[in-house]
A and B are shown apart, each in its own frame.
Chain A
């Protein structure tokens, strides 16, 4: 055990490292170093915690840290880049669960020391807040993970009486909390049972919070849950009166809110809309009508002939490219097109894929040069000059209905205007509406050709045609 002041100074140093790390993470050139700096901050905070007190349970701490490190390291090494968003959701959920358990363990300490009646109401309420935010983060993140990983349907799940159920749960929570803290002398029910009750209600709230939100909005939800996990850590800091938890938790909590707002802006959606109206669920009226015209499929050979004659090609990737693991094939196709004397660019929509930046990561992995990755606002003004726009597994981000159809649930969202290019080739498995379940009139346009099939196979087919 070392001096408390020294421990606190170490905590201050690690808080400074977190601040620098976060700041640098927002800058492309310094991001990796920033992440390293914040990891060092974490390391010394853990070291300080280990020497700060009379640790009587070394073996259990060691088991927890070693097992957790192995699981975390393996998971982060083995996950495919395409599955990155759900991995982040899962890690986030574990963080929430940990905060919940810290709050619970602190209560257990009071119980085992026979001090429950001496603890102040404030302390008990803080424990409830920790358990509540931690529980919502935990189950909410698990649902977000399951939706992204396709374990449960990604469509918004809504049922009648949803609001009543939510209000009922909140009332139960408030009643449970009042009985747990301010009215604990009444002892109608044992306070330990009440704590378990609050844990359960918190976990159910996490589920009912995320389940009505469509898969297309999951990036925003994960970002918000990330902010929550920071707040949970912050609340846990109040439970055990620890500064470094409060500082780091509050940093993540508030910067997470800002990041969530930035993401919402990129999708031109309000956070309240994301949270309280299922994406695409209120527009059943528009669905039945269908669109004028019919889709015009092309074969790989025909698509090759079109591409061979093109001078300017714009590739618009989406989540379908990630699912088909087509990024390397796409890079090869781009190289072949360039060898053919054609100008090739990639247009990256801010929310293409399951998370902002998802496409950039995948294409960078496939060695696509950075300067070929163009942002939406760069390509839209000159999109009329593009001979062929190839849409690979993208849907909502190129949906012209966002511009033209006021009844569309994504009306107003900025999209890449591929329909204004001279010709559009859409690679897609079928005509089914995409992840968010919204019809896309692009597929039925006169200048659109549908190249059906698995994105990787068709792209490889095109590459083979070029090589032949």
Chain B
């Protein structure tokens, strides 16, 4: 199981290296913000940390840690996607005119 995860990690990393190239500079900020939203995927980990069997001992600590993790990760996800969309929406109107030249 462990080695399969490493395999996944290596392939995904190389894909990430190849995915981004020759990005026009005006898209750097939206790209950073958009990929930042993806790193909010840790929200899935946060949700899963609140699953499974809970024993009475130490349950409060796990709930506090997990809920905080869900909270922070959701800010990252929701805020990240919305802010990226807001930035990109400002390019949309002018983009059609740009096609002419």
Contact = CB atoms under 8 A, between A and B. Distances in A.
Contacts, number: 409
A390 interface: no
Contacts of A69: 74, 78
Interface string A146-175: 000000000000000000000000000000
Interface in A284-331: none
B12 A230 contact: no
A417 B26 CA distance: 20
B29 A88 contact: yes
A101 B87 contact: no
Interface stretch (A57-65, A177-185, A204-212, A273-281): A57-65
B1 to A, nearest CB: 7
B62 A67 contact: no
Given A28-B24, A360-B26, A370 B98 contact: yes
A30 B97 CA distance: 15
B13 A50 contact: no
Interface in A71-107: 71-73, 75-77, 79, 81, 84-85, 87-88, 91-92, 94-95, 97-99, 101-102, 104-106
B5 A238 contact: yes
A244 B48 CA distance: 12
A238 B3 CA distance: 11
Interface residues of A, number: 122
Given A19-B15, A248-B38, A45 B44 contact: yes
Nearest to B91: A364
Contacts of A67: 71, 74
Interface in B47-95: 47-55, 57-59, 61-63, 65-95
B62 A236 contact: no
B12 A355 contact: no
Nearest to B80: A91
A226 B59 contact: no
A271 interface: no
Interface stretch (A259-267, A335-343, A450-458): A259-267
A230 B20 contact: no
Interface string B15-40: 11101111111111111111111111
A231 to B, nearest CB: 9
Contact of B38 (A18, A101, A104): A18
A357 B30 contact: yes
Interface in A213-266: 219, 222-223, 226, 229-230, 232-234, 236-259, 262-263, 266
A55 B1 contact: no
B8 A230 contact: no
Contacts of B93: 364, 367
A26 B41 contact: no
Given A45-B44, A88-B29, A60 B23 contact: no
B41 A31 contact: no
A309 to B, nearest CB: 28
Nearest to A231: B39
Given A49-B47, A241-B5, A95 B36 contact: yes
Contacts of A259: 20, 23, 28, 31-32, 35
A95 B35 contact: no
Contacts of A351: 25
Interface stretch (A33-41, A419-427, A440-448): A33-41
Interface stretch (A109-117, A392-400, A459-467): A109-117
A219 B33 CA distance: 12
Contacts of A229: 36, 39, 76
9 contacts: A25-B27, A31-B27, A57-B67, A76-B80, A84-B33, A101-B72, A108-B65, A251-B13, A367-B93
9 residue pairs, one from A and one from B, having the closest CB atoms: A68-B74, A64-B70, A112-B58, A254-B16, A72-B79, A72-B78, A356-B28, A250-B12, A370-B94
Given A230-B39, A248-B41, 7 more contacts: A35-B81, A42-B38, A105-B66, A232-B42, A245-B42, A254-B16, A370-B95
